[in-house]
Structure 1
Amino acid sequence: METIRNVEINQLHDFRNHPFNVEVNTELCELMKSIEKEGVLVPLLVRTNPYGDGYEVISGHRRKEAATWAGETKVPVVIRELDDDQAVVAMVDSNLHRENLKPSEKAFAYKMKLNAMKHQGKHLDSGALAQVGPKFTDGSQLNEKGNNTSTINSNELLARQVGESVAQIKRYIRLTKLIPKILDMVDDGKIAFTIAVELSYLSENEQYELHAVMDLEQCTPSLSQANRMKRISQSGKLDMDAIYSILEEEKPNQREQIKICASTLEEYFPDDFTPKQKVELIERLVKEWHEKQIKDNGRNR
C-alpha cells in the first residue's frame, strides 16, 4: 500500500551506488527557483531505508537537491515498499529518460538493472514459472494449458526496453571495467566510446600505466592503437614501454594537412578532370618544382 506524506529532507538518503550524477547546473538552478515559488509539485519516490533510519530515495534525487538549495526542510514523498531488485529497476527506469546522460551513467545503470532483472528471473524460474510449466533449453516453456510459449532472456528484454541492441548494451557495461580516471576522460569526450570499449579489456594496472603515459605525453590512443594494446595485453606482454612505443606512433589525423579551396584552382584544370586527376597533377607539379629548386641551389654553390 502506498502513502504520500511530507518528510524531513534529512530523513532522505540517496540510493546506494546511485549511478546518476546530480550536477549543479542551469537546469538545477531553474528547478530550485520553481520550488521556491511553488514548492515540490511531483512527490519523490522512496522506500523504507533498508540500511538504517529514514527513507531511501528511488526517484527524485535532483528534486531533493534543488529543494535543499531552495531552503525547504520537508518534501512530499510516495512511500512504496520495494525489494532491492524492484528498487534498482524503478530507480534506473526513472532516470534513463534524462537527456545528456554520460557514458558512465548509462554503463552502471545498464549493469545494475540487468543484474536485478536476472536476479528477478531466477526467483521467477524457481517460483511462478514452476507453477506454469517446465522451461526448456531453447528458452521455451509450457504454459498451464500445455502449449509451448517463447520467452526472452534478460539481455534481450533490457534491449527492447531501452531501445539499444544487446551488443551495444554489452559494450556500455564493458565501460564499468575502466578505472575512474580513464572513465572520466570518456565522459569528458577525450576518449571515444569505441576506443574506451577496447581499453576496458586492459588490466587495472595496465590502465593506470596507460593513463600515466597519456597524462605525460598529452595524447590518447586511436582505435587501432587501443586494439593493439588489447591484443598485447591478452598475450601478457603489455607494459609501460610497449604503451609508450604504441602511443608515440604518428596517427593519420595528427599529420599536418594543407587544404586548398577547389574554386581557387578550378579555372586552371580541364573541364573533364576528375578530383583524383587534379590531386595527381598538383603533386607532380610540386615535385617538379622541388627538383628544380635542388638543381638551382646546386648551381649557385
Structure 2
Amino acid sequence: MANKNSKGLGRGIDAIFKDFESPDLSLSNVEELPLKDIRPNPYQPRKTFDEEALEELAASIKNTGVFQPIIVRQSVSGYEIITGERRFRASKMAGKETIPAIIRTFDDPAMMEIAVLENLQREDLTPLDEAQAYDTLIKKLKLTQAEVSKRLGKSRPYIANYLRLLTLPPEVKKLLNTNKLSMGQARTLLSLKDKKKINAVAKKTVADGLTVRQLERLINQMNAGEARPQHTEKKKSPYLRASENQLAGRFGTKVNIAQTQRGKGKIEIDFTDNSDLTRILELLDVDLN
C-alpha cells in the first residue's frame, strides 16, 4: 500500500526513473548477481528495519523467489544498492546466494536522492528515519529547508518540525523509534523550556499514558512556573501567556512577549547558535539569500 504522502514524492521518483521502462531495462537485462558482492546504499537514511516483516518477506522469497529485481550500480568492488535493500536483506535471510538485479549508472547525488525519496514513500518509516532523510538531503546535497520542501512538495514548517526531532536526547529518540512516544508527543516535548527535563517528562508521559493534550498542559504549567515574573514585573495576561506557549511550540525554543502600558510590546525568541537561528528564520519564511 502506498504512503498517503507518496503522491507528491512519486513524481520525484518517476522523474529519476523515467527511463526505467525503456527497452534497455527489459527483463532480458536482468542479471543474477551474487549477494556477497552487493552492499547497501551508502546514503540509505533508514536505520531500522522491521525484523518480523523481513522474516515474512524472507519466507516468501524462499518459496517463490524474488519477482522484482533490485537496482544496483557498479562500484570499485562489487555493487551498491540503489533500490531494493529489503529484498536484498530478506534474500540473505532466506539463504539465497544470488538475486535478480538491474545494473544502472548513477552518481552520488542521484543515489542519495533516490534512497531518500524511495524511503519516504514507505509506511513503516519511523519519524526519526524521515527526519534523517531530510537532514541527509540538506547536508549532503547542500540544500536549504526551503529547497527540500519545494522538492518534496512539503511545507517548510513540516520539514522543520521533523528536523527538530534530531535534537531530542538519545533516550527519548529510542522511545520514539519503538513507538512508545508518538510524533505529536515528541514535538510537544521539544517545547519544554528546560531541555534537561525532557528525559524525565518523556518517561512520565509513557508511564502515565499521557495524551498529547495532557502533555501540552503539563509542559505549559512547567514553562509558566519557570518563567514566573519577579514581583517588580507586571503580571502577564492569560492571552500573552498563551501566545508565548503557542510560539514556543512553533519555534521549539523559549519565547517572551513583553507589553508596555501604552499597548506596544516586543517578542523575544531565544536561539542557541547560528544554525538554530537559521532554522527559526526559515520558519518565519525569511529569505537569507
Shift of 1:80: 2.1
Indicate how the Cα distance of structure 1 residues 196 and 41 shifts in structure 2: closer, same or farther if over 3 A, else same.
same
Gaps of 5+ in 2: 1-23, 228-289
Which residue of structure 2 lines up, in the alignment, with residue 56 of structure 1?
Answer: 80
- CA distance, structure 2, for counterparts of residue 113 and residue 230 of structure 1: 34
Letter in 2 for 1:99: E
**Percent of residue pairs identical:** 27
Say whether 1:222 aligns with 2:215. yes
Residue by residue, what CA displacement relative to the aligned partner does 1:50-76 show, whole Å, maximum 9, x if unpaired? Answer: xx6222222111101111121111112
Say whether 1:171 aligns with 2:195. no
Letter in 2 for 1:80: R
Q: Give the secondary structure class of the aligned counterpart of 2:51.
A: coil
Residue among 33, 37, 42 paired with 2:63: 37
Q: How many residues align?
A: 195
Indicate how the Cα distance of structure 1 residues 166 and 227 shifts in structure 2: closer, same or farther if over 3 A, else same.
farther
Which residue of structure 2 lines up, in the alignment, with residue 158 of structure 1?
Answer: 151
Greater mean alpha carbon deviation, residues 70-79 or residues 10-19:
10-19
CA contact 2:172–2:202 (8 Å) conserved in 1: no
Gaps of 5+ in 1: 122-151, 235-301
Which residue of structure 2 lines up, in the alignment, with residue 68 of structure 1?
Answer: 92
Which residue of structure 1 lines up, in the alignment, with residue 54 of structure 2?
Answer: 28
- CA distance, structure 1, for counterparts of residue 41 and residue 224 of structure 2: 38
Q: Give the secondary structure class of the aligned counterpart of 2:31.
A: strand
CA contact 2:41–2:111 (8 Å) conserved in 1: no
Indicate how the Cα distance of structure 1 residues 53 and 37 shifts in structure 2: closer, same or farther if over 3 A, else same.
same
Residue by residue, what CA displacement relative to the aligned partner does 1:215-262 show, whole Å, maximum 9, x if unpaired? Answer: 58945782244467789999xxxxxxxxxxxxxxxxxxxxxxxxxxxx
Shift of 1:180: 2.8
Indicate how the Cα distance of structure 1 residues 193 and 227 shifts in structure 2: closer, same or farther if over 3 A, else same.
farther
- CA distance, structure 2, for counterparts of residue 179 and residue 67 of structure 1: 35
CA contact 1:86–1:116 (8 Å) conserved in 2: no
Letter in 1 for 2:176: V
Which residue of structure 1 lines up, in the alignment, with residue 199 of structure 2?
Answer: 211
Say whether 1:19 aligns with 2:9. no
The TM-score, its normalising length taken from structure 2, stands at: 0.55
Indicate how the Cα distance of structure 1 residues 94 and 214 shifts in structure 2: closer, same or farther if over 3 A, else same.
closer
Residue among 24, 33, 47 paired with 2:73: 47
Question: What is the 5 A alignment of 1:98-113?
Answer: 98-113=122-137
- CA distance, structure 2, for counterparts of residue 54 and residue 229 of structure 1: 55
Indicate how the Cα distance of structure 1 residues 174 and 117 shifts in structure 2: closer, same or farther if over 3 A, else same.
same
Residue by residue, what CA displacement relative to the aligned partner does 1:25-61 show, whole Å, maximum 9, x if unpaired? Answer: 1x33332233223321211122234xx6222222111
CA contact 1:46–1:80 (8 Å) conserved in 2: yes
Pair member with larger Rg:
1
Indicate how the Cα distance of structure 1 residues 17 and 116 shifts in structure 2: closer, same or farther if over 3 A, else same.
closer
- CA distance, structure 2, for counterparts of residue 88 and residue 232 of structure 1: 45
Q: Give the secondary structure class of the aligned counterpart of 1:19.
A: coil
Which residue of structure 2 lines up, in the alignment, with residue 299 of structure 1?
Answer: none
Which residue of structure 1 lines up, in the alignment, with residue 108 of structure 2?
Answer: 84
CA contact 1:118–1:154 (8 Å) conserved in 2: no
Letter in 2 for 1:75: I
CA contact 2:61–2:90 (8 Å) conserved in 1: yes
- CA distance, structure 2, for counterparts of residue 7 and residue 201 of structure 1: 50
Which residue of structure 2 lines up, in the alignment, with residue 182 of structure 1?
Answer: 172
- CA distance, structure 2, for counterparts of residue 48 and residue 179 of structure 1: 38
Q: CA RMSD in A?
A: 3.7
Letter in 1 for 2:147: S
The TM-score, its normalising length taken from structure 1, stands at: 0.53
